[in-house]
Amino acid sequence: MREVIFDTETTGLDPSKGHRLVEIGCVEVLNGIPTGRTFHHYLDPQREMPEDAYNVHGISAEMLAGKPLFADIADAFLAFTDGAKLVAHNAEFDFRFMNAELLAAGRPELDRERMVDTLALARRRHPGSPVSLDALCARYGIDTSRRTKHGALLDSEILAEVYAELTGGRQTSLVFAGPRAQGWSGNVAAKREPRPAPLPSTVTAEELAAHESFVAGLGEAAVWRRYAEEPAG
């Protein structure tokens, strides 16, 4: 199954009040394992950057000068996410912004049937516990040392690990990570060594006598007779 883990950074909390996207980050996941394909853009919101938003993600209006408009990358985003489930933490927030931008660019909205909200998954799995991205990383032992500010691509990469834990899929990725990282070819062959001495038989004398009596009653053409006549290899 193909899924896209994604995150956004914005100028504020409500697109209906004129707030815009300033960053999109996406990570492709296939059958629970990141493929290495990503989609990432900073965007010119065509407005000022409020101080509260800057304090969260550290993206200034000066940094965004000359970056593409959302309309410039809308088709590339739709192509990257085409046919995939869309996974986000507090996904309703990201979907509202994405759909506002898509409509403004004359593109179709994202279908909410494709939405997977890891915040809702975490609340069901850990009722009564903190379920922020940082809290889930602490619970699952996921390294967040690089996360000094919110960033869409980095948060998507971290969320991919959290999502694997929430859905029980992380063990699959861990099984393949070690050997492949060491140049494993994918072929595993068991090494067999001969025993220094044969294991002693566990068949009792009574069982052996019963077997011989049974074979004797099968007649001269019995398969067991041919097997018994073969030399030991």
Question: How far is residue 171 from each of residues 32, 44, 161, 166, measured CA to CA in Å?
Answer: 10, 39, 11, 11
Rounded to 10 deg, the angle between the 118-125 and 152-166 helix axes is 40
The secondary structure of 10-35, three-state, reads ECCCCHHHCCCEEEEEEEEEECCEEE
Q: Which two tokens stand for residue 156?
A: 């998507």
Single out the catalytic residue among 41, 89, 126, 150. Answer: 150
Catalytic residue flag (residue 40): no
Amino acid identity of residue 86, one-letter, is L
> Which residues does residue 28 pair with via DSSP β-bridges, in sequence order?
4
Q: In angstroms, rounded to a whole number, what is the distance separating the alpha carbons of residues 53 and 97?
A: 15
| Active site (catalytic) residues | 150
